[in-house]
């Protein structure tokens, strides 16, 4: 029996705006994300700064608003001073247990962000670092030459003008025992309070974030101590952890995780409410992806094997694409509180771009990000849906989102059919009326639910323009698909 669903979009309630930073990115010094990913001096594909020009060009297609860097777990043993100026000091990275040459540091990161058209977002070391080291880094980046030792050092290093980094975060996952210099909730609350104060005394205009989680025991003391000095709290989510021994989840298991992000957002929003900060502090989902990376306790060969397994392209299928669409829908539906989200990572391991020595592959998730960046309006319309359950998973068969442009004349309706093999009959009502007619649309589906792109077949899953027919309100959504339909409003 064909599954059925209905979507009702209201044109009465005022649309809500959302922050474009929810289409953000994350690049970590981990595996081949920086070295051999975005930065490969000497490669024939790189420009004079050592940036892979093909990667820059591909990322520009996503109009990325913001990139978080340098970690991740990496940051908790990173000291920024090793990565600035002419004399770079290699350091042994305690998180990933490799030597980092530090040839890609603050100036390179800022220049790379400018090349792809994104705002830089710097995450500081609150594990083995100090509040003073954090505020010195802010001075190095943001104060005019002549203000002090670190601003002058930047000028000496050839950048007289401030880098003007707007987004700063205190720490990364400092609640986790895998993190170098992990903290107790009480230690964390006190360190963040002091760090935020010192950072604001250097530059009071920065947008300040810190490591939190959807957990009352960690986040409430943090908000009580430092909430009035924060703009956003950062949470992370990976819903299908890859590890050394198990194969990645099958399509239904993976897609069945699609409601996870929404419940994490709602739980975190409730914690902000409990602290009395729901109106003042937002959420940054500043690492997210369906596939997470297992942190093995094994020896080096196992670590290397785990990193390489993360690069297997066949892992990243339409399940990843549809999960990602549901993730973004959840953020946009909660645009009043979710102000940033950063797919983790941007390149290699589980990222939307797979970069290899002679080229790159746009994985399925790349196309989802491109569709959201270019096909949606800037405001979300109120809407509701009713749908059958997806057979074999505990989620509705469809997900949806409705946006409208600034002029209020173009509606973009996002429809996700999670069924791996069957079309879904979907009724659409707009402002109380059934839709009827033929509409321009873009669909991403690929030949099967398990389809993916790889080096030999980079174009197996690509978006395609279609005309969607709606007859007396009913349309048919292809199996395992993401569709964005455009409707002109009177
Ligand atoms: O992506 C690998 C790691 O996953 C990041 O460094 C960390 O923040 C998260 O746990």
pLDDT tens digit sequence for 234-255: 999 999 987 655 678 899 999 9
The pLDDT of residue 244 is 59
Give residue 288 CA to ligand 1 midpoint distance, Å. Answer: 10
The last residue of a domain, from among 319, 354, 375: 375
**Catalytic: which of 119, 139, 173, 179?**
173
Q: Is residue 399 in contact with ligand 1, taking CB distance under 6 Å?
A: no
The pLDDT of residue 419 is 98
- Domain range for residue 444? 3-12+379-488
Helix axes 185-202 and 216-226, enclosed angle (nearest 10): 40
User: 361 and 282 share a domain?
Assistant: yes
User: 89 and 215 share a domain?
Assistant: yes
pLDDT tens digit sequence for 144-156: 999 999 999 999 9
Identify whether 287 is a catalytic site residue. Answer: yes
User: 390 and 364 share a domain?
Assistant: no
Identify whether 21 is a catalytic site residue. Answer: no
User: 451 and 302 share a domain?
Assistant: no
Give residue 72 CA to ligand 1 midpoint distance, Å. Answer: 5
User: 164 and 293 share a domain?
Assistant: yes
Q: Is residue 343 in contact with ligand 1, taking CB distance under 6 Å?
A: no
Q: Is residue 240 in contact with ligand 1, taking CB distance under 6 Å?
A: no
User: 327 and 359 share a domain?
Assistant: yes
Q: Is residue 351 in contact with ligand 1, taking CB distance under 6 Å?
A: no
CATH number of the domain residue 392 falls in: 2.60.40.1180
pLDDT tens digit sequence for 59-86: 999 999 999 999 999 999 999 999 999 9
The last residue of a domain, from among 333, 359, 375: 375
User: 355 and 403 share a domain?
Assistant: no
CATH number of the domain residue 71 falls in: 3.20.20.80
Low-confidence ranges of the chain (pLDDT < 70): 1, 243-246, 294-304, 306-307
The last residue of a domain, from among 375, 406, 425: 375
Q: How many domains is the chain partitioned into structurally?
A: 2
**Residue of 73, 127, 169 best suited for mutating to test ligand 1, as the one with most atoms within 8 Å of CB:** 73
The pLDDT of residue 298 is 46
Taking the CA of residue 173 as reference, the ligand 1 atom at the shortest distance is: 8
User: 103 and 120 share a domain?
Assistant: yes
User: 361 and 405 share a domain?
Assistant: no
Taking the CA of residue 172 as reference, the ligand 1 atom at the shortest distance is: 8
HSE-CB for 166 with a 13 A CA cutoff: 9
User: 357 and 478 share a domain?
Assistant: no
Q: Is residue 72 in contact with ligand 1, taking CB distance under 6 Å?
A: yes
User: 303 and 183 share a domain?
Assistant: yes
The pLDDT of residue 97 is 87
Q: Is residue 427 in contact with ligand 1, taking CB distance under 6 Å?
A: no
User: 356 and 419 share a domain?
Assistant: no
Taking the CA of residue 345 as reference, the ligand 1 atom at the shortest distance is: 1
Give residue 33 CA to ligand 1 midpoint distance, Å. Answer: 12
């Amino acid at each position: 029996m064909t599954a059925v669903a209905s979507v009702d979009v209201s044109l009465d309630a005022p649309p809500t705006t959302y922050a474009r930073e929810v289409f953000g990115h994350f690049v970590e010094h981990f595996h081949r994300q920086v070295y051999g990913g975005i930065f490969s001096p000497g490669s024939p594909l790189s420009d004079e700064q050592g940036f892979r020009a093909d990667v820059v060009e591909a990322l520009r297609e996503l109009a990325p608003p913001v990139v978080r860097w340098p970690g991740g777990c990496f940051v908790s043993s990173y000291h920024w001073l090793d990565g600035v100026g002419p004399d770079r000091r290699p350091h042994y990275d305690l998180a990933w247990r490799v030597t980092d040459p530090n040839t890609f540091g603050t100036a390179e990161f800022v220049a790379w962000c400018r090349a792809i058209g994104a705002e830089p977002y710097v995450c500081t070391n609150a594990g083995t670092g100090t509040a003073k080291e954090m505020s010195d880094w802010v001075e190095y980046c943001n104060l005019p030459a002549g203000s002090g030792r670190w601003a002058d050092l930047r000028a000496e290093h050839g950048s007289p003008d401030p880098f003007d980094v707007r987004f700063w975060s205190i720490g990364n996952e400092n609640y986790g025992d895998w993190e170098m210099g992990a903290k107790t909730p009480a230690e964390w609350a006190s360190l963040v309070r002091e760090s935020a104060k010192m950072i604001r005394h250097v530059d009071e205009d920065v947008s300040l974030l810190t490591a939190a989680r959807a957990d009352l025991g960690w986040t409430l003391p943090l908000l009580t101590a430092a909430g009035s000095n924060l703009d956003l709290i950062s949470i992370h989510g990976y819903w299908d952890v890859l590890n050394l021994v198990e194969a990645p989840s099958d399509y239904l298991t993976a897609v069945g995780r699609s409601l996870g992000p929404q419940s994490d957002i709602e739980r975190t929003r409730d914690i902000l409410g409990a602290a009395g900060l729901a109106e003042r502090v937002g959420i940054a989902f500043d690492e997210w992806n369906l596939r997470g990376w297992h942190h093995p306790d094994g020896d080096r060969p196992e670590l290397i094997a785990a990193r390489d397994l993360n690069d297997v392209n066949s892992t990243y299928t339409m399940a990843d694409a549809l999960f990602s669409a549901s993730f973004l829908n959840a953020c946009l539906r909660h645009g009043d509180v979710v102000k940033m989200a950063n797919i983790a990572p941007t390149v290699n391991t589980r990222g939307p771009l797979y970069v290899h020595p002679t080229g790159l592959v746009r994985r399925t998730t790349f196309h989802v990000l491109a569709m959201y960046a270019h096909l949606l309006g800037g405001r979300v319309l109120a809407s509701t849906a009713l749908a059958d359950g997806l057979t074999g998973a505990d989620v509705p068969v469809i997900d949806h989102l409705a946006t409208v442009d600034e002029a209020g004349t173009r509606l973009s309706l996002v429809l996700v059919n999670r069924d791996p093999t069957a079309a879904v009959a979907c009724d659409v009502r707009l402002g109380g009326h059934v839709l009827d007619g033929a509409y321009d649309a873009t669909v991403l589906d690929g030949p099967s639910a398990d389809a993916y792109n790889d080096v030999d077949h980079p174009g197996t899953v690509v978006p395609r323009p279609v005309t969607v027919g709606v007859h007396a309100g009913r349309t048919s959504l292809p199996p395992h698909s993401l569709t964005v339909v455009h409707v002109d409003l009177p």
